[in-house]
C-alpha cells in the first residue's frame, strides 16, 4: 500500500485508536522550557504521579532569559523564579537540563536539531507551537498545551486525531536574494493565516530539495502560522550529512542501521493527500509583512492591498490591523523607515543566518537612527559565530551579538520594542503587541533585515547583491 511520509511515521507510533475518537500516539522526544512546564509538573505531582520516561525529555531555559549578562542573576523576579523552578523540577525528576551557563543552552528548536537529538522518523512534542521546526528532519513534530505536556510527562503518550494531509510542492529555481523565509511568507500570504488549519503539511519539490537544513527549518518553523498542525520535509542526503557526528546522533553500527531506516522515509509515489498546492519558485520575491498576522505579506516591491481589493467581510479586521500598524491601504512598503532590527528567534538565528547577515553587512555601517539586536539561537551558534569572527564583523558595522534566547521574538524578557516603533524582524509573528505593547512588527528574511540595519528602511536586497 502506498503511504505518505506522515503516515509511515504515524502508523509506527499509534498504540491504539479509540472508537469514534483519537489515537494513542507514542512520543519519542519531549522538549520542555521554563514557561509552559511548571503547571505540568505541579499537575503531575497533584495526581501523585512521577515523570514516566525522564530520559526522553530534554529541557532548556530560553523564553524569558536575558540576552545580556547571563552570568548574573536574572533581574526580573518572576522570570528568575520560573527559571529556578525549571532547575528544581528537572533535578527532582532526573531530567537533562541545558540551562543558563550550559554550553548547549539555547532556543529549544535550535538546540534539538543542532545537538542531533532531533532525528528522522521520530515523534516530537514541546509546549511551544514552533515545535513544527523539527519536521525539517522528517519527523512528526508539533506544539502542545500544558495539559498535554503533563500527559506526555506522565505517560509518554498523547491522544491525537489523525490530521488531514496537505502537500505543498515548490518546483524550480529560486530568484536571487530569495531565502527560505521568503518562501514561507509567500506561501502563508497565499493561503492565509488559517489556510492549513486541520492539516499536517509536507513540503516537497526541487526548490525544497535544494535547501540547506537551516533553510528547511525556517520553512517548517512557520507552518503553524498558516494554522497547520505541523510541517515536514522528507529526509535526504542533506539531512544525513547534517546529522552525522552531532553529539546525540547515532554512531558506528547504530548510525548504519538508523540510516537504512531513514532512507525509507518519503511519500510513496501515488500516495494520497487531502490537498495539494503547486508553487513555481520563480514567482517568489523577497517578502515583507505589513499587517498583524503572518498572512498579511507582500513582495517588498509590492503594494499593500487597497480597501477595494479586500473582501467586504474582512475589511474591518484589515482596517483595524493597518491602523495598528500606522500604514495606509494601497501604499508601498519599500522605503518605509524602521526603528529597530531584530535578527533572531527559532525561525532565523542559526549559524547560516548569522553568516548571511555578516557577509552582507561586512564593510558597511549601521544606519545611525536604527537600533539593531542580533540574538544567536544557542550557545553553540554564539561560539561558532565568535570562532568565525562574525562578532567582529558586527562590531565593525556598529552592532553586537547578544546572548542566546527568544528575546524580542515575544518580548518576555527586557528586549521589548517600544510602543509605536517599527521593527523589522526575522521572527515568525507580527501579532499586535507580540514584541512589546503597541510595537509594530514587519516580518522579513535575515537579508532584508540586514539591509534595513544598514539603510534604516525597508528595501529590496536584489539591488545590493
Partner 1 sequence: MSKKINIVQSTAVPLDMENVDTDQIIPARFLKATSREGFGENLFRDWRYDSHNQPKKDFILNDPTYSGRILVAAKNFGCGSSREHAAWAIKDYGFDVVVSSFFADIFKSNALNNFLLPVTVSDEFLQKIFRAIAGDPSVELIVSLQDQTLTIPSLGETTHFDISDYKKTCLLNGYDDIDFLLSIKDEIEAFERSRD
Residues found near ligand SF4 in the complex (CB under 6 A): 62-63, 107-109, 128, 130, 345-346, 406, 409-410, 427-428
247 binds partner 1 (CB under 8 A): no
Residue 366 to residue 361: CA distance in whole angstroms: 8
- The 3-class secondary structure across 281-306, one letter per residue, is HHHCCCEEECCCCCCCEEECCCECCC
Residue 373 to residue 67: CA distance in whole angstroms: 10
Of 112 and 177, the one with the shorter C-beta distance to ligand SF4 is 112
Residues 6+ apart with CB under 8 A from 191: 226, 277, 295
Residue 413 to residue 389: CA distance in whole angstroms: 27
Going 50 to 51 to 55 to 61, the CA torsion angle's sign is negative
Contact 209, 285 (CB under 8 A): no
429 binds partner 1 (CB under 8 A): yes
350 binds partner 1 (CB under 8 A): no
Least CB distance to partner 1 at residue 22 (A): 6
Q: Which cell numbers in the block locate residue 240?
A: 544525513
Least CB distance to ligand SF4 at residue 410 (A): 4
Q: Which of 15, 72, 363, 387 binds partner 1 (CB under 8 A)?
A: 15
Q: Which of 405, 402, 404, 432 is nearest to 417 (CA)?
A: 432
CA trace torsion 118, 121, 123, 124 (10° rounding): 20
193 binds partner 1 (CB under 8 A): yes
Least CB distance to ligand SF4 at residue 429 (A): 7
The distance of Cα 170 from the centroid of its chain, to the nearest Å, equals: 20
Least CB distance to partner 1 at residue 242 (A): 25
Question: What residues from 42 to 101 belong to the interface with partner 1 (CB under 8 A)?
Answer: 42-43, 47, 49, 52, 63-64, 76, 78-79, 81-82, 85
Block residue for cell numbers 528537572: 90
Which of partner 1, ligand SF4, none has residue 345 at its interface (CB below 5 to 8 Å by kind)? ligand SF4
Question: What residues from 148 to 167 belong to the interface with partner 1 (CB under 8 A)?
Answer: 148, 150-151, 154-159, 161
- Would you tell me which residues interact with partner 1 (CB under 8 A)? 15-16, 18-22, 24, 26, 35-36, 38-39, 42-43, 47, 49, 52, 63-64, 76, 78-79, 81-82, 85, 127-129, 143-148, 150-151, 154-159, 161, 193-194, 197-198, 224, 227, 229, 293, 314, 316-317, 320, 410-412, 419, 429, 431-434, 437-438
Amino acid at each position: 500500500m502506498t503511504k505518505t511520509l506522515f503516515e509511515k511515521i504515524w502508523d509506527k507510533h499509534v498504540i491504539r485508536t479509540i472508537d469514534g475518537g483519537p489515537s494513542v500516539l507514542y512520543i519519542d522526544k519531549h522538549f520542555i522550557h521554563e514557561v509552559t512546564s511548571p503547571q505540568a509538573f505541579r499537575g503531575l505531582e497533584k495526581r501523585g504521579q512521577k515523570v514516566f520516561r525522564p530520559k526522553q525529555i530534554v529541557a532548556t531555559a530560553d523564553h524569558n532569559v536575558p540576552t545580556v549578562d547571563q552570568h548574573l542573576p536574572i533581574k526580573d523576579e518572576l522570570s528568575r523564579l520560573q527559571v529556578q523552578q525549571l532547575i528544581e523540577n528537572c533535578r527532582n525528576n532526573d531530567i537533562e537540563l541545558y540551562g543558563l551557563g550550559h554550553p548547549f543552552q539555547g532556543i529549544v528548536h535550535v538546540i534539538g536539531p543542532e545537538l542531533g537529538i532531533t532525528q528522522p522518523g521520530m515523534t516530537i512534542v514541546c509546549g511551544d507551537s514552533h515545535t513544527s521546526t523539527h519536521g525539517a528532519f522528517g519527523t512528526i513534530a508539533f506544539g502542545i498545551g500544558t495539559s498535554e505536556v503533563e500527559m506526555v510527562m506522565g505517560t509518554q503518550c498523547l491522544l491525537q486525531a489523525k490530521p488531514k494531509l496537505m502537500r505543498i510542492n515548490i518546483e524550480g529555481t529560486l530568484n536571487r536574494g530569495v531565502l527560505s523565509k521568503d518562501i514561507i511568507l509567500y506561501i502563508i500570504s497565499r493561503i492565509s493565516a488559517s489556510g492549513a488549519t486541520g492539516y499536517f503539511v509536507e513540503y516537497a519539490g526541487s526548490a525544497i530539495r535544494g535547501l540547506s537544513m537551516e533553510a528547511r527549518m525556517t520553512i517548517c518553523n512557520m507552518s503553524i502560522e498558516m494554522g497547520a498542525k505541523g510541517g515536514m520535509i522528507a529526509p535526504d542526503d542533506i539531512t544525513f550529512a547534517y546529522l552525522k557526528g552531532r553529539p546525540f546522533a547515532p554512531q558506528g553500527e547504530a548510525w548504519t542501521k538508523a540510516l537504512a531506516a531513514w532512507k525509507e522515509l518519503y511519500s510513496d509515489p501515488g500516495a494520497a493527500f487531502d490537498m495539494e498546492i503547486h508553487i513555481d519558485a520563480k514567482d517568489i520575491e523577497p517578502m515583507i509583512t505589513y499587517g498583524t498576522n503572518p498572512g498579511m505579506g507582500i513582495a517588498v516591491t509590492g503594494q499593500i492591498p487597497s480597501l477595494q481589493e479586500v473582501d467586504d467581510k474582512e475589511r474591518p479586521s484589515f482596517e483595524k490591523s493597518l491602523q495598528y500598524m500606522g500604514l495606509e491601504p494601497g501604499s508601498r512598503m519599500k522605503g518605509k523607515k524602521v526603528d529597530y532590527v531584530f535578527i533572531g528567534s527559532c525561525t532565523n538565528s542559526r549559524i547560516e543566518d548569522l553568516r548571511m547577515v555578516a557577509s552582507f553587512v561586512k564593510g558597511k555601517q549601521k544606519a545611525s537612527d536604527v537600533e539593531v539586536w542580533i540574538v544567536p539561537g544557542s550557545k553553540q551558534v554564539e561560539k561558532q559565530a565568535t570562532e568565525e569572527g562574525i562578532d567582529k564583523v558586527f562590531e565593525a558595522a556598529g552592532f553586537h551579538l547578544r546572548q542566546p534566547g527568544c528575546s524580542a521574538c515575544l518580548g518576555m524578557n527586557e528586549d521589548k520594542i517600544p510602543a509605536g516603533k517599527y521593527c523589522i524582524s526575522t521572527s515568525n509573528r507580527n501579532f499586535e503587541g507580540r514584541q512589546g505593547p503597541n510595537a509594530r512588527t514587519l516580518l522579513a528574511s535575515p537579508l532584508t533585515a540586514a539591509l534595513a540595519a544598514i539603510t534604516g528602511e525597508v528595501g529590496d536586497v536584489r539591488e545590493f547583491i
